Structure 1
Amino acid sequence: MGVHFVPGTMKIELVSTIAEGDRVVAEWTSTARTVHGDTYDNRCIGVYTVRDDQIVSVTEYADTAHVAATLFNP
């Protein structure tokens, strides 16, 4: 998605984490200025499975309607 953002404007901020057993859930915000002059501001969640100190799977969730409207409908 990097080609859609003005270089140097992407900011990712970790909001919270929860861990239980081999699962970690992380919440973060991603903000940037798009090459079309819009503001990208999305909230995301990632569910990580960790085994032997390695991430073995990741499932990420984001507001895909915001992604489509901001990045692909200038």
Structure 2
Amino acid sequence: MTLKEFIEFQEGIAIGEEYSFTYQKEEYWISQNPGACYLTRVRGSFTQEFETSEALFKDGTIEGRLLSEIYMDIEW
């Protein structure tokens, strides 16, 4: 994913869109319900919950790394 795509990804999630993506051959989902955003690894259904999409991108991690640190290795 390019930086431009990552910004579009963040903007889409901010308006309520949901996405699946792959990082290091693992599938992940970003989903939403009113008042919550979720980052879920499909294998094992490991889920992190956040109050807002901003919090997801500020605090959400995959393998201990922030999404902003690994976006270039995300495939969607």
Q: Which has the higher contact order (CA 8 A, sep 6+)?
A: 2
Q: Does TM, normalized by the shorter one, top 0.5?
A: no
Q: Please report the TM-score for the alignment, with normalisation by the length of structure 1.
A: 0.38
TM-score, structure 2 as length reference: 0.37
Who wins on radius of gyration, i.e. which is larger?
Answer: 1
Q: Which has the higher helix share?
A: 2
